[in-house]
A and B are shown apart, each in its own frame.
Chain A
Amino acid sequence: MRIKICAEPFEPWHEVQAYQQSATGMAGKFGATSLFIGTMRDFNDGDDIQGMTLEHYPGMTEKQLEKIVAEAMQQWPVLDALIVHRVGDILPNEPIVLVAVWTSHRGDAFDASRYIMEALKSRAPFWKKELLASQTERWLLKNTDGYL
């Protein structure tokens, strides 16, 4: 398992490839890899968005994400998992989050990655502040439920 918090832009495809190559223990064992990539939009709630600042609680973020992955590993036979999350100033079209899960079979990969992503959205201590094209700033008040 790897949890990575990035203050600079990251390339999700490179992160997945590099991690998979380094995790030699699962070579030949995994038949499914599920990837979720969340990318910043240039619109939200009917407004044009120019940029975003992502604040987090260092230490608690990693602790909660490790706990979430451990919960997923108890529920599904997950071979390995990688989470990468941006913090700091972010521009539209830049990746915000990557969740990658490796399992033997596809159903477990889909289910475990969905669980990790939804738990991250509701429990990992990150907060987004949007900069609107009108130059006003606003904090996002809450995340939407991904199952609705």
Chain B
Amino acid sequence: MSIKVRYFASLKESVGRSEQRLEITGLLTVADVWRAANPDKAMPDNTLAAVNMDYVALTDAVEDGDEVAFFPPVTGG
């Protein structure tokens, strides 16, 4: 399946890219997407994740065509 992966703020800077396309087979969780996209980098403890612009748990499943985003705690307002 094809997954669009996006990164924001300090996490974007630390992984060195804002987005990527992941072509992968088999059932995946959000945590699996991170591992496939960043095999040499552990996910920071405070990372938040969203699928199709809704917050999700790292154990939630992803589907073909999903947009998965990783980012640090939010600091707006």
Q: Taking beta carbons and an 8 Å cutoff, which residues of A are in contact with B? A: 38, 54-57, 59-60, 63-64, 85, 96-97, 117, 120-129, 139-143
Contacts and interface: CB of A to CB of B under 8 A. Distances in A.
Interface string B34-77: 00000000000010001001110000000000000101111111
Q: What's the interface size class on B, roughly? A: 10 to 19
B9 interface: yes
A139 B72 contact: yes
A96 B8 CA distance: 19
A121 B74 CA distance: 7
Interface of B: 6, 8-10, 46, 50, 53-55, 69, 71-77
B54 A127 contact: no
Contacts of A121: 74, 76-77
A127 B74 contact: yes
Given A63-B53, A125-B8, A142 B73 contact: yes
B77 A123 contact: no
B77 A117 contact: yes
B9 A124 contact: no
A43 to B, nearest CB: 16
B73 A141 contact: yes
Given A117-B77, A120-B77, A121-B76, A127 B55 contact: no
